[in-house]
Structures are given as C-alpha cells and as structure tokens.
C-alpha cells in the first residue's frame, strides 16, 4: 500500500488514447501504489515532440501540490543510450527520459534509474513507460526514498529550440507550436519582451501582416487577428473566434517581428 495516501501522479505522453499504452502504465502504477491519484495532463502531444511536451509540463507543474510525481513519456529514443531518470525539484518529482523533457527546471537533484526495484522484472526495449518509468513513479509516490533510484547526475540534457534575437530596432522570433484552438505560441516570453521594450508601444508583424497587440480576444472584432501574451507567459497569435493557424496559414518556425 502507499505510504502516502492519494499522492498525485500526473501523466503526460504522446501515446494518444486509442491504444492500450496509457492504460498499461496506469495498471502498473496502481499495482504498486493502489491509493495514488492519477491525473492526465495530456496524451495528445504530437508523436515524438519533446519540445511540446516540455512546454506543456513547464506551464503546469507548479499548479500541482508538493509531493506530486510527474510521469512524462515522450521518448523517440527509447531503448537507446539515452538515460532513464528521476528528478526532484521544489518538492516535486519528475520521471521520464533524459532527452530535454525536464530542461526547464533550474534547480534540481537528478538521478539515473538503475535500481532494479524501480523497474519491472524484464523491461522491454520499446516500452520503458510501462517497464521503467511507471514503476519508478509508483515507488516514489509510495514513499520510497529518492536516493535509492540510482546514481546522481550533474546535468540534464538541454532542449534545443530557436531563441529570439533582440536589437535596439526590434526583435525577431518565430512560431514554436499551436494549441488546440489554432493559436500560435511564439518564442517571445513576456519577461524577455518587457526587458527590452515598453508594452505600451510595441508593434507585432508576422510575414506582411501587422497584428494589433491587445490583452484578450474580445479586444478586436470577430474574425480579426491579434497578438497577446497568453496564460503560459509567451506571445501568442490568434483569431478572435477562429484558428490563426488556418486563417493566416501559419506553420511551425514561421518568423515574426516585434518593433518598439
């Protein structure tokens, strides 16, 4: 039984919900820690999109209570030399592959999962989510000592994404991803933009299209484009009542500019 009753285990994967993969991981968790509270962050990450998974996790992990175990499996390198890891940061635990998923953490203790107690008896080469990561998450939720996971690691694998370029005359960035509504999320963080420019006067242009910089969708007429800082803290491009991806024919890495 779980030493810590109802400890949350939050799952994030690219497995979708059509197949049995998520169910298998949950079964393993509940077999080891029946009282765990299982929470689905998302299973609709695009297959192999490590950056999208890292972004989703980075936007919500602090909304969960201390003690939460995050089980994140977007693992195109499963079965290769990439490390299986567990990470502790701000009283929360993260379990998954060392491929950039947890690169957003600034202060952490990381360990490679080598203790066989934290794995199934015969781990497969292609489903570490079930055979290594789920058992590890369950053991941690059950109160097993983090120090028993395996040897410590000094660094985590970095995540390589395009960074915006700022000059006195403006800044250049790009679209990184899209949400369910077709809103385009860029690589301009609110912190970076406000450090360089006054938000009262900036102009946003994508391609040849100037975008009004506003606070929310209803600040422009229905069907009109807009730029705003989304709840995730990054500059986003949207259509009031529509999909910016479709209406503006946007794609990942589409360039955009900010002018002061």
For residue 173, what are the β-bridge partners? 256
Instruction: Kindly give, in sequence order, each residue whose CB lies less than 8 Å from that of residue 169, ignoring residues fewer than 6 positions away.
Output: 259, 260
Token pair, residue 8, equals 């949350």
Handedness of CA 246, 248, 249, 250 (dihedral sign): negative
Q: What is the pLDDT of residues 184-229, one digit of tens each?
A: 999 999 999 999 999 999 999 998 899 999 999 999 999 999 999 9
Residue 4's pLDDT band, with cuts at 50, 70 and 90, is low
| pLDDT above 90 as % of the chain | 96
Residue 147 contacts residue 114 (beta carbons within 8 Å): no
β 109-112/170-178 pair status: unpaired
Residue 130 has pLDDT above 70, yes or no: yes
| pLDDT above 70 as % of the chain | 98
Q: What is the pLDDT of residues 86-95, one digit of tens each?
A: 999 999 999 9
Span 137-153, mean pLDDT?
Answer: 98
Residue 106 has pLDDT above 90, yes or no: yes
Residue 129 has pLDDT above 50, yes or no: yes
pTM higher than 0.85, yes or no? yes
Residue 3 has pLDDT above 90, yes or no: no
Residue 102 has pLDDT above 60, yes or no: yes
Token pair, residue 228, equals 């705003």
Residue 5's pLDDT band, with cuts at 50, 70 and 90, is low
* pLDDT at residue 208, rounded to an integer: 87
Angle at 114 between CA 109 and CA 147, to 5 degrees: 40
Q: What is the DSSP string of 129-172?
A: IIIIIHHHHHHHHTT--GGGS--EES----------EEETTEEE
* pLDDT at residue 1, rounded to an integer: 45
Q: What is the DSSP string of the chain?
A: --SSTT-EEEEEES--SSSSHHHHHHHHHHHH-TT-EEEEEES-SPTT-HHHHHHHHHHHGGGSPTT-EEEEE--TTTTSSPPEEEEEETTEEEEEESSSTTTT-SS-EEEE---GGGS-SS--SS-HIIIIIHHHHHHHHTT--GGGS--EES----------EEETTEEEEEEEEE-TT-PEEEEEEHHHHHHHS-TTT-EEEETTEEE-B-SSGGGS-TT-EEEEE-TTSEEEEEETTB-HHHHTT--TT-EEEEE-
CA atoms within 13 A on the CB side of 95: 31
Residue 51's pLDDT band, with cuts at 50, 70 and 90, is very high
Residue 84 has pLDDT above 70, yes or no: yes
Span 143-156, mean pLDDT?
Answer: 97
């Amino acid at each position: 039984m779980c030493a810590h009753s109802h400890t949350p285990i939050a799952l994030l994967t690219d497995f979708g919900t059509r197949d049995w993969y998520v169910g298998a991981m949950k079964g393993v968790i509940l077999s080891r820690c029946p009282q765990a509270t299982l929470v689905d962050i998302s299973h609709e990450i695009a297959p192999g999109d490590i950056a999208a998974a890292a972004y989703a996790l980075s936007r919500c992990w602090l909304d969960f209570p201390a003690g939460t175990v995050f089980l994140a499996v977007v693992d195109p390198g499963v079965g290769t030399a990439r490390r299986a890891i567990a990470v502790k940061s701000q009283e929360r635990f993260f379990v998954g592959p060392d491929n950039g998923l947890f690169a957003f953490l600034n202060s952490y203790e990381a360990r490679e999962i080598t203790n066989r107690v934290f794995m199934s008896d015969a781990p497969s080469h292609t489903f570490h989510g079930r055979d290594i990561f789920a058992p590890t998450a369950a053991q941690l939720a059950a109160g097993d000592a983090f120090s028993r996971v395996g040897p410590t690691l000094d660094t985590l694998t970095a995540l390589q994404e395009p960074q915006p370029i700022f000059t006195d005359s403006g800044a250049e960035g790009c679209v990184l991803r899209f949400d369910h509504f077709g809103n385009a999320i860029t690589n301009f963080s609110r912190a970076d933009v406000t450090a360089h420019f006054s938000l009262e006067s900036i102009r946003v242009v994508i391609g040849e299209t100037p975008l009004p910089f506003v606070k929310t969708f209803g600040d422009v007429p229905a069907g009109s484009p807009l730029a705003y800082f989304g709840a995730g803290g990054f500059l986003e491009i949207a259509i009031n009542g529509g999909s910016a991806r479709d209406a503006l024919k946007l794609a990942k890495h589409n360039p955009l500019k900010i002018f002061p």
